[in-house]
Amino acid sequence: MRSLRLRFIPTALIAVAVAATAAVVVALPSPAHAGVIPVGEGSYTTDRPAGTKGPSNSDGAAVSPKVTSRVAGPVPTNDWWSSLVWRRYAGNPYSENLYAHPLAYHAYADGLGIGYPDSATVTGDGRTYEQVYSEDLRVGLDGLNSPDTKVDGWSDWTVSPYWSDGSRTLRATIGHGLPYAYFTGGGGNARVNFAAAPDVFHHSGPVLGVTVRGHHYALFAPSGATWSLDGPLARSNLAGRGYFSVALLPSTGALALFERYAYAFVTDTRVNWSYDADTARVTSTFTATTEPREGTGTGTLLALYRHQWRASPDSVTSHRYASPRGEMRLREGRSFTTRATFNGVLPSLPDLGGYDRTRLGSYLDAVLAEGDPLKGATDSYWTGKALGRLAMLVPIADQLGRSGDRDRLLDAIRGRLADWLTASPGEAQRLFAYDATWDTLIGYPASYGADTELNDHHFHYGYFILAAAILARYDSGWGTEGRYGGMVELLVRDAANWSRDDSRFPFMRHFDPYAGHSWASGHAGFADGNNQESSSEAMMFATAMTLFGEATGDTGMRDAGIWLYTTERAAIGEYWFDIADAVFPANYGHGTLGILWGAGGAYATWWTANPEEIHGINALPATGGSLYHGAWPADVRANVTEMRASNGGPETEWRDIIWEFLALGDPEAAKSAWDASGGNYDPEWGETKAHTYHWVYNLAATGAPDLAVTADIATYAVFSKSGVRTYVAYNSGAFARTVEFSDGVTLSVPARSMAWQTGPGSDPDPDPTPTPSPTASPSPTSSPGPATDTLYPRDGGAEGVTALLATTAGPGATTDEIPSADGANRDGTPYRPLSYVATGLTMRHDPARSTGFRLYVDAGTTVANGQQARISYDLTGDGTWDRVETYRYFATDPVPGWELYTQSAGLLSASGTLGDLSNGRVKLEVWSAIGNRPSTLRVGATETDASQSVVQIPFIRPTR
Query: With b meaning 16 or more CB within 10 Å and e meaning fewer, what string describes 750-768?
Result: bebbbbbbbeeeeebebbe
Distance CA 928, CA 935 (A): 8
- Continuous H helices in 575-688: 611-616, 633-647, 655-662, 667-677
Taking the C-alpha atoms of residue 831 and residue 578, their distance in angstroms, rounded to an integer, is 52
Residue type, 119: S
E strands present in 264-387: 264-276, 281-292, 301-304, 320-321, 328-332, 335-341
819-823: long-range contacts (C-beta < 8 A, 24 or more apart)? 819/927, 819/928, 819/934, 820/928, 820/931, 820/932, 820/933, 820/934, 821/865, 821/866, 821/927, 821/928, 821/929, 821/930, 821/931, 821/932, 822/932, 823/931, 823/932
Give the span between the Cα atoms of 271 and 286, in whole angstroms. Answer: 5
Cα separations in angstroms, 24 against 30, 363, 410, 659:
18, 26, 10, 36
Which whole-number Å values give the CA distances from 228 to 172, 192, 236, 907, 942, in the listed order?
A: 22, 10, 6, 48, 72
Identify which of 589, 572, 491 has the alpha carbon closest to the alpha carbon of residue 538.
572
CA 589, 591, 593, 597 torsion-angle sign: positive
CB 461 within 8 A of CB 383: no
Alpha carbon dihedral 764, 768, 769, 774, in 10-degree steps, equals -150
Cβ-contact 236, 221 below 8 angstroms = yes
Q: What is the CA radius of gyration of the chain?
A: 29
Is 370 exposed, middle or buried, given 0-12, 13-18 or 19+ CB atoms closer than 10 A? middle
Q: How far apart are CA 508 and CA 522, in angstroms?
A: 13
Q: 413 CB contacts (<8 Å, ≥6 apart)?
A: 387, 390, 391, 394, 467, 470, 471
Among 952, 942, 765, 773, which residue's Cα sits nearest to residue 871?
952
Question: Which helix or strand (DSSP H or E) is residue 566 part of?
Answer: helix 555-571
Closest by CA to 666, choosing from 686, 644, 688, is 644
Strands 834-845 and 320-321: unpaired
User: What stretches of 177-263 adopt beta strand conformation (E)?
Assistant: 180-186, 190-194, 199-204, 207-212, 215-220, 228-230, 233-236, 243-249
Packing angle between helix 535-552 and helix 555-571, nearest 10 degrees?
160
Distance, CA of 15 to CA of 461 (rounded, Å): 23
Pair 777, 22: CB distance under 8 Å: yes
CA distance 326 to 581: 10
Residue 156: C-alpha distances to residues 81, 159, 270, 521, 785 (Å): 12, 9, 5, 18, 43
Please say whether the beta carbons of 857 and 937 come within 8 A: yes
Question: Which sequence positions are flagged as catalytic?
Answer: 456, 533, 537
Which one, of 391, 357, 424, 310, lies nearest residue 622 by Cα?
391
Please provide residue 515's backbone torsions phi and psi, each rounded to the nearest 5 degrees: -70, -25
CA 110 to chain centroid: 33
Which residues make beta-bridge pairs with 162? 150, 171
